Amino acid sequence: MVSGIKGTFGVLAAIFWKGMKHYVRYPGSLLIYLMLPFLFTMMILGMGSFIGGGNAVFNFAARTGSSNVLVYEMLGGAVWMTSWVVVEDVGVALRDEQMKGTLEQNFLAPVSRFTLLVGISLTDIAITTVIFLVVVGTTLAFTMPGAYLGFFQAFLMLLIGLIPLFGLGFFFSGFVIKFKEPYIFTQMVNLIFGTLTGTYYPVTILPYWVQFLSGVLPQTYVISNMRQIILANQSLVNLYGSIFILLALAVVYPTFGYLVFKKLEKDASVTGELSKY
């Protein structure tokens, strides 16, 4: 088993570059991730303008507290897309290996499962950073060019939020190996995330029981805090309460996700599910 800092870093770097090569080889998927927040926001704005008419922005501001519709929606869209990437990549990565017939080689390599999963996640840190820089950076450059300090804090918010998200990715990864059918599953999960975390609306307009579910998802805090930072001039210090919750989730989700992954992987190796697709 590869051990030691140098060995582990070597493995992580190898997995990271493998993931990056996939994105470079198939640039269409990254292009879609970059375009979707703009497309979804355009659709929401178009439909909203039609329904609200001349008072659309006023109605929006009355419900959300912000009249900067574009930035409000793009922040939600960008965070949703980062969670989409993590679910699609970390959650489905091992299933893809299974489909290609290379999962056994990966699992037989002298590398711990945790290192394998973290390596896959590292690629996603790079990809989500690109998404954030392009989607949010472009939007702010055109609408709020002076908000670079808020932009930087929002990016830190995203990085904190990625840790629990990777934990969810570990969970899905084991789940997908066990139950197969990853694409239907990931589509449902992505939609549930988009709906529950307030991607295009504040979660406070959802029913109370739904808000409870929103409260256990890290993206809810990331989206809300980013909007507070950029649109309401709050700082990370002022938002310590929700950052504390995010840090707690950053401990709970990876631990929980990895335990579930190990359990499902063990079950699959006993029943021979690993080689089935």
Partner 1 sequence: MLLVNFPSIEGCRRLSEEFKAAFMKDFRSYIRYPAWLIGDLVSTPLWYFFFAVGVTLFAPTTQTSEYHGSSFFFFGFIFIVLFSTIIWGVGQSVRNEQMAGTLEQFFLAPANRLTLIMGRWARIFVTDLLVIGYTAVLFRLFGGGPLPLYEPALFAFALGLFEVGSVGFGVLFAGLTMKLKSYTTLSNLIFFGYMILTGALVPVNVIPLPYRYVCLVIPFTYFIDLMRHAALLTPTILPESLEYLTGIIVAVIMFLVGLITFNWIEQDARVRGSIATN
Give contact residues for partner 1 (rule: CB under 8 A): 26, 28-29, 31-32, 35-36, 39, 42-44, 46-52, 55-57, 59-60, 62-64, 73, 179-181, 184-185, 187-188, 191-192, 194-195, 199-201, 205-206
Beta carbon of residue 201, minimum distance to partner 1 (angstroms, whole number): 5
Residue number, 62 or 251, with CB nearest to partner 1: 62
Beta carbon of residue 143, minimum distance to partner 1 (angstroms, whole number): 18
Beta carbon of residue 100, minimum distance to partner 1 (angstroms, whole number): 13
Rounded to the nearest 5 percent, the helix, strand and coil shares of the chain are: 85, 0, 15
Whole-Å CA distances, 145 to 9, 42, 45, 103: 38, 21, 21, 47
Residue number, 2 or 35, with CB nearest to partner 1: 35
Beta carbon of residue 222, minimum distance to partner 1 (angstroms, whole number): 18
Distance CA 166, CA 122 (A): 10
Residue number, 152 or 179, with CB nearest to partner 1: 179
Beta carbon of residue 217, minimum distance to partner 1 (angstroms, whole number): 15
**Closest by CA position to 87, among listed 210, 218, 214:** 218
Residue number, 205 or 259, with CB nearest to partner 1: 205
Beta carbon of residue 78, minimum distance to partner 1 (angstroms, whole number): 15
Residue number, 113 or 180, with CB nearest to partner 1: 180
Q: Is residue 69 within 8 Å of 62, Cβ to Cβ?
A: no
Distance CA 155, CA 60 (A): 25
What is the residue whose two structure tokens read 């084991």? 174
Residue number, 76 or 254, with CB nearest to partner 1: 76
Q: Is residue 72 within 8 Å of 143, Cβ to Cβ?
A: no
Q: Name 265's Cβ contacts closer than 8 Å, sequence gap at least 6.
A: 113, 174, 177, 274
